[in-house]
Amino acid sequence: MNKLPLEGIRIADCTQAWAGPHCTQHLADLGAEVIKVEPPYGATRGDRKATAGVYPDLNPGSRPWNRHTIFNVLNRNKLGVSLNLNKDEGKRLFKELVKVSDIVIDNYAAGVMDRLGLGYEELRKVKPDIIVASCNGYGPSGPWVRYHSYGVVQEPMCGYMALTGYADEEIPYRSGVDHIDPVTGTHLAGVLIGALLHRKRTGEGQQINISMMESAINFVGPAILDYTINGRSLEHKGNRHLQEAMAPHGCYRCRGEDEWITIAVGSDEEWENFCRVIGNPSWTQEKRFTYLYNRLQHQDELDRLVEGWTMEKDKYEAMHLLQNAGVAAGAVLNMAELFDDPHLKERGFWQTIEHPEAGKMNLIGPRYQMSDTPAPTLKPAPLFGQHTDYVFKGQLGMNEVEVAKAIEGGVIFKGEVADPKGA
């Protein structure tokens, strides 16, 4: 009863940036032993390079590789080693790690692990029941298999940006958050748990691939449904409801500087509740506002009148008044307000840890609570090469001389950053 669900599962984690590390963060939080296998610092690929540029107090310090904020946030609860997979000895040691692991995961471009000689077919030779997962932009096949991918590229290609923008402008807008990365990582975490259950029943491992583009398309499900049923492509509507099923539906100014609230009214009952909260002014009884269809035809005027009420209220006051009457409403929170939010505080959402070189960090806790499983204790992300001895000596059985020789030969990197030439 005191164990986390994935305790005893070991993962060789070759991921970088956001999608892959987000996946393994979920699995580490659930108790898996995640061993992050990094290339030499400064090599072409590498998570510490991919996430560089943000440091505590904007100060990289003398060892910036251990102070990257994004790396340290995404890689909590993980172990870390650095191994040169371009060298034959590095490949051999990686295969030794695979022998004592359950899952291997990467989010390199399609085909990278195969070209390194570390693809699924090769790894299953050393461990027949290994589960090998890859996460990349477009999957392992198809005409775009070699194309590069970032969040700002995925949002238009999955149809998302065709829906985002102002109603009176043709220019699409990105969301402002590369949310496709964490969503893809979360999808992959769920699939990997399914693969572990399959292996437990059958004894068989398997290869898994998840495409960010295909994962992202779930965001536009209603638009796809509208197209398949009605044959129309939805257009930019700003903050208004895409399927024209709610009005009022938008973001409205509140009292104070740059203070806002969002309001969404769907049913006739919600409209009646909304009208009651705002005092049943005479305009709410006008024919143009009495039914959803009529309100949809007069949204400009409706929004102006709704904002006349919200501008007299503090955003929290307006939110509580509406929510207590059964009307969906949410204050627009900035980052400082998120960290001070009483609801999140009471649920223990924010957790503080001490990183040995980056200092105190406020982290998002697990996104779930389980009644009979203990919450994980968050541990800081690994320092560069921190767990060299644990992995190579403790798990792979290498002795002091063998590890020292591998370090000298540019196969293993430990502690201080080494010159990555030949990586």
Positions marked active-site: 181
List all residues 6 or more positions away from 281 whose beta carbon is below 8 Å from its beta carbon. 275, 305
Q: Which ranges in 278-420 belong to alpha helices (H)?
A: 287-290, 292-297, 299-310, 315-324, 335-339, 342-346, 388, 400-408
Q: What angle do helix axes 19-29 and 180-202 make, rounded to 10 degrees?
A: 50
Cα separation, 242 vs 392, in Å, equals 55
Cα separation, 94 vs 157, in Å, equals 35
Q: How many angstroms separate the Cα of 185 from the Cα of each of 17, 81, 134, 145, 209?
A: 11, 22, 11, 19, 11
List all residues 6 or more positions away from 108 whose beta carbon is below 8 Å from its beta carbon. 14, 16, 45, 134, 136
At residue 38, the 3 state secondary structure works out as strand
Identify whether 40 is preceded by a cis peptide bond (ω within 30 of 0). Answer: no
Cβ proximity of 303 and 263 under 8 Å: no
Cβ proximity of 344 and 335 under 8 Å: no
Cα separation, 93 vs 24, in Å, equals 21
Cα separation, 284 vs 353, in Å, equals 51
